[in-house]
């Protein structure tokens, strides 16, 4: 019997089975028996296939009639048996005319369903979801064998069965703390999330496309929540978190059958358990007094501030009677000549974020240390993360000193011993002063003054953060960035120095009498040899543009020569150290060039320079 007659004689359900059984006969391909590479045979038509299947209720297994199945390139409507057939679907082929696997996005519109639920009736309950989404893979058999000989076109039918549940199921449950296993408070956000619309033995799914939020609610005072009238026998994910999003949890769940309620409980170990999102260990973020601070010899509180609350246990107790408590693990020592443990008391603040070590009395001009390193891993947050910088200097380990000594006087008679030789090429300043009684060291400050405006004093010795070891005399190379020494373009730079005495308590005296240094060396110039109409004059340092471009400062004399050219132009180049002279003609033997009156940026005038050509 011919295929058309066989199919015509059967029911639609039987016809679908026949089409599945006669895969090799359900598609047309012109020239499919032609040899591989014969474009005349293969190119006449592209292979086509059929996608067929059924749509049934996931609970009752009843066929769903009247649904519109859309695969993006074609559509079909399910019949009374819930079956559909989409024919003439183009099969993709590669460059060698071998068929490839393909996938199709399926969108099933259930708003037109007539049975078993009449979706057109506004009063029909329970109802199906309006839409169903799924991407289905379709694998097609190659047109040719590995040896290149033609083979029949087979396997070009894809059969897909879909299951959709009514909106007739309920899920109720509780959100609980994963550590204490107690219900959370009211106000946690709870969302029911779709895992996609596939729902078979090998895939998970839920109403709508993947990650579609089906419902949202909040926990009540007992941590409870409910989702009503959701799709039956569908797979979902429940997400829950608190307002600050510091606790979060998820649970995968399958909805029950029509009219049933699934309960998620702590006792059943299927509640939505939330855990802290905190994965960072606490740290000590500040300590007072600061590391290496010098403070008054009086009763002192050393306060350690943590980045988050510390879990209170026996090991974090501040009571002297607890053997493993902080009183016995926090080391507080006098580090002077008589080093020993000293009297102290410890306490936590109300939020357990600050630990205070109180030392009732401190000696003058002494060194002390307070160390939490001995606590080991006792200091932890609520999630059992131990403090990470417990043994870090300036954090968990603090050293400080006390003051009390007399502040020495400011140094007197600070002098610059090489003032006369300072210039652009020799910028090192040599300072000297007389020793001061009671000073253990000295600090040197420098200010850079621009165009007569005073700059701000900056510490240059010692390096910031380091103790002073300077006892007298200091050599300072003035900075060459962002400017060159003593010069900023066409402006003069000067430098002012003050010296301060430093006591044994690291207390500075007042400023010494300021001394200011500047470029005191006159510039010199080099005139190139040879007869020429242009000359580039080189100065040993940047020169003043006004004097460097004044033609009267350049004199060319005839001498024994028969003639003398005229200097027509003088240009200061960008480097500020060279001047280009342009003459009316080339010099002749016997001419003499003399330069006078040119000054450097500081105003020092050159003594003069000359060359006879």
Is residue 438 domain-shared with residue 553, that is, in the same domain? no
In this structure, is residue 327 part of a structural domain? yes
Whether 259 shows a pLDDT value over 90: the answer reads yes
Per-residue model confidence (pLDDT) at position 237 = 95
Which residue shows structure tokens 């005073």? 454
In this structure, is residue 482 part of a structural domain? yes
In this structure, is residue 281 part of a structural domain? no
Per-residue model confidence (pLDDT) at position 46 = 65
- Average confidence (pLDDT) over 367-388: 89
Per-residue model confidence (pLDDT) at position 270 = 95
Number of other CB atoms surrounding residue 209 within 10 Å: 16
On the question of a cis peptide bond just before residue 370, with omega within 30 degrees of 0, the verdict is no
What radius of gyration do the chain's Cα atoms show? Answer: 47
Nearest to 555 by CA among 504, 529, 583, 593: 593
Nearest to 403 by CA among 288, 511, 502: 502
How many angstroms separate the CA atoms of 595 and 579, rounded? 11
Domain of 351 in residue numbering reads as 293-402
Whether 521 shows a pLDDT value over 60: the answer reads yes
Of residues 423 and 120, more confidently modeled: 120
How many angstroms separate the CA atoms of 486 and 541, rounded? 10
The total domain count for the chain is 5
How far is CA 486 from its chain centroid?
A: 43
Is residue 573 domain-shared with residue 443, that is, in the same domain? no
Per-residue model confidence (pLDDT) at position 352 = 92
Is residue 459 domain-shared with residue 537, that is, in the same domain? no
Residues 6+ apart with CB under 8 A from 31: 38, 40, 41, 42, 44, 45
Per-residue model confidence (pLDDT) at position 97 = 60
In this structure, is residue 287 part of a structural domain? no
Average pLDDT, the chain: 82
| 445 neighbors 460 (Cβ within 8 angstroms) | yes
Is residue 366 domain-shared with residue 430, that is, in the same domain? no
Which residue shows structure tokens 């995968």? 252
Edge-to-edge strand list for the sheet holding 592-595: 554-557, 592-595, 609-612
Per-residue model confidence (pLDDT) at position 3 = 34
Is residue 272 domain-shared with residue 171, that is, in the same domain? yes
Going by pLDDT thresholds of 50, 70 and 90, the confidence category of residue 93 is: low
In this structure, is residue 372 part of a structural domain? yes
* Of the listed ranges 44-48, 146-150, 529-533, 534-538, the one predicted with least confidence: 146-150
* Of the listed ranges 50-59, 86-95, 541-550, 561-570, the one predicted with least confidence: 86-95
Per-residue model confidence (pLDDT) at position 100 = 61
Per-residue model confidence (pLDDT) at position 96 = 63
- Average confidence (pLDDT) over 301-315: 92
Going by pLDDT thresholds of 50, 70 and 90, the confidence category of residue 156 is: low
b or e along 361-383 (b: 16 or more beta carbons within 10 Å of the residue's beta carbon)?
ebeeebbbbbbbeebeebbbbeb
Per-residue model confidence (pLDDT) at position 138 = 67
Is residue 242 domain-shared with residue 185, that is, in the same domain? yes
Q: Which of 58-67, 317-326, 330-339, 441-450 has the highest mean pLDDT?
A: 58-67
Is residue 11 domain-shared with residue 160, that is, in the same domain? yes
For the chain, the first-to-last Cα distance in angstroms comes to 121
How many angstroms separate the CA atoms of 512 and 514, rounded? 6
* Of the listed ranges 214-218, 227-231, 483-487, the one predicted with least confidence: 483-487
Going by pLDDT thresholds of 50, 70 and 90, the confidence category of residue 452 is: confident
Whether 556 shows a pLDDT value over 50: the answer reads yes
Is residue 298 domain-shared with residue 213, that is, in the same domain? no
In this structure, is residue 301 part of a structural domain? yes
pLDDT in tens, 346-367: 999 999 999 999 998 887 777 8
In this structure, is residue 181 part of a structural domain? yes
How many angstroms separate the CA atoms of 444 and 423, rounded? 21
Going by pLDDT thresholds of 50, 70 and 90, the confidence category of residue 17 is: very low
Domain limit, last residue, from 112, 143, 164 = 164
Going by pLDDT thresholds of 50, 70 and 90, the confidence category of residue 344 is: confident
Domain limit, last residue, from 164, 190, 223 = 164
Is residue 378 domain-shared with residue 449, that is, in the same domain? no
How many angstroms separate the CA atoms of 258 and 338, rounded? 83
Dmax (CA) for the chain in angstroms is 132
φ, ψ for residue 433 (rounded to 5)?
A: -155, 165
Per-residue model confidence (pLDDT) at position 44 = 40
- Average confidence (pLDDT) over 50-57: 90
Percentage with pLDDT > 70 across the chain: 82
How many angstroms separate the CA atoms of 26 and 451, rounded? 96
- Residues in the chain, how many? 613
pLDDT in tens, 597-607: 999 988 899 98
| 330 neighbors 372 (Cβ within 8 angstroms) | yes
In this structure, is residue 253 part of a structural domain? yes
Is residue 361 domain-shared with residue 445, that is, in the same domain? no
Per-residue model confidence (pLDDT) at position 488 = 72
CATH number at residue 81: 2.60.40.1120
Domain limit, last residue, from 127, 147, 164 = 164
CATH number at residue 452: 2.60.40.10
Residues 6+ apart with CB under 8 A from 132: 67, 106, 107, 108, 110, 162, 164, 197
- Average confidence (pLDDT) over 417-422: 86
CATH number at residue 347: 2.60.40.1220
Is residue 499 domain-shared with residue 540, that is, in the same domain? no
Per-residue model confidence (pLDDT) at position 362 = 84
How many angstroms separate the CA atoms of 166 and 61, rounded? 11
How many angstroms separate the CA atoms of 168 and 304, rounded? 58
CA distances from residue 160 to 54, 141, 578 in whole angstroms, order as listed: 7, 17, 89
Q: Strand, coil or helix: what is 118?
A: coil
- Average confidence (pLDDT) over 78-100: 79
Nearest to 237 by CA among 265, 262, 272, 199: 272
| 76 neighbors 84 (Cβ within 8 angstroms) | yes
Is residue 125 domain-shared with residue 254, that is, in the same domain? no
φ, ψ for residue 103 (rounded to 5)?
A: -135, 150
How many angstroms separate the CA atoms of 534 and 393, rounded? 67
Whether 555 shows a pLDDT value over 70: the answer reads yes
């Amino acid at each position: 019997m011919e295929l058309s007659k066989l199919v015509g004689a059967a029911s639609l359900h039987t016809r679908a089975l026949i089409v599945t059984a006669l895969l090799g006969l359900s598609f047309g391909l012109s020239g499919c028996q032609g040899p591989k590479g014969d474009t005349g045979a293969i190119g006449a038509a592209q292979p086509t296939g059929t996608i067929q299947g059924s749509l049934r209720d996931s609970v009752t297994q009843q066929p769903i009639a009247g649904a519109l199945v859309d695969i993006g390139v074609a559509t079909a409507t399910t019949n009374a048996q819930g079956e559909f057939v989409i024919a003439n679907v183009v099969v993709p082929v590669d460059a060698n005319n071998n068929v490839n696997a393909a996938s199709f996005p399926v969108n099933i519109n259930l708003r037109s369903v007539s049975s078993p639920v009449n979706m057109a009736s506004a009063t029909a309950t329970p109802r199906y979801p309006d839409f169903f989404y799924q991407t289905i893979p379709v694998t097609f058999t190659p047109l040719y064998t590995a040896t290149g000989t033609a083979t029949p076109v087979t396997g070009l039918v894809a059969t897909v069965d879909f299951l959709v549940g009514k909106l007739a199921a309920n899920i109720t449950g509780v959100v609980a703390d994963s550590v204490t296993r107690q219900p959370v408070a009211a106000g946690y956000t709870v969302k029911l999330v779709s895992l996609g619309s596939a729902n078979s033995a090998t895939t998970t799914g839920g109403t709508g496309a993947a990650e579609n939020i089906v419902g949202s609610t909040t926990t009540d005072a007992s941590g409870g929540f409910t989702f009503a009238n959701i799709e039956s026998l569908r797979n979902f994910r429940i997400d829950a978190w608190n307002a600050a999003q510091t606790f979060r949890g998820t649970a995968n769940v399958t909805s029950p059958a029509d009219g049933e309620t699934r309960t998620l409980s702590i006792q059943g170990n299927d509640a939505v358990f939330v855990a802290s999102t905190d994965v960072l260990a606490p740290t000590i973020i500040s300590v007072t007094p600061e590391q290496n601070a010098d403070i008054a010899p009086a009763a002192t509180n050393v306060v350690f501030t943590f980045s988050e609350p510390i879990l209170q246990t026996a090991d974090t107790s501040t009571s002297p009677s607890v053997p493993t408590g902080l009183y016995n693990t926090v080391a507080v020592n006098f580090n002077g000549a008589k080093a020993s443990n000293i009297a102290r008391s410890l306490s936590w603040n109300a939020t357990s974020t600050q630990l205070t070590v109180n030392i009732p009395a401190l000696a003058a001009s002494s060194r002390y240390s307070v160390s939490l390193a001995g606590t080991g891993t006792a200091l932890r947050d609520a999630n059992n993360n131990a403090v990470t910088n417990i043994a870090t200097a300036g954090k968990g380990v603090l050293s400080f000193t006390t003051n009390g000594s007399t502040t020495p006087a400011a140094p007197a008679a600070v002098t610059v011993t090489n003032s006369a030789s300072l210039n652009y090429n020799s910028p090192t300043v040599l300072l000297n002063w007389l020793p001061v009684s009671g000073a253990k060291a000295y600090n040197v400050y420098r200010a850079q003054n621009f165009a007569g405006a005073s700059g701000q004093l900056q510490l240059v010795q010692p390096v910031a953060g380091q103790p002073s070891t300077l006892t007298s005399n200091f050599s300072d190379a003035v900075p060459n960035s962002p400017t060159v020494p003593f010069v900023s373009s066409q402006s003069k730079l000067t430098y002012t120095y003050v010296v301060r005495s430093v006591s044994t308590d690291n207390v500075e005296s007042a400023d010494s009498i300021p001394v200011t240094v500047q470029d005191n060396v006159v510039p010199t110039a080099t005139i190139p040899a040879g007869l020429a109409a242009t000359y580039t004059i080189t100065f040993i340092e940047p020169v003043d543009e006004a004097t460097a471009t004044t033609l009267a400062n350049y004199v060319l004399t005839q001498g024994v020569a028969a003639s003398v050219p005229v200097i027509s132009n003088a240009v200061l180049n960008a480097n500020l150290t060279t001047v280009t002279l342009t003459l009316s003609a080339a010099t002749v033997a016997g001419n003499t060039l003399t330069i006078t009156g040119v000054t450097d940026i500081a105003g020092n005038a050159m003594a003069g320079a000359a060359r006879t050509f």
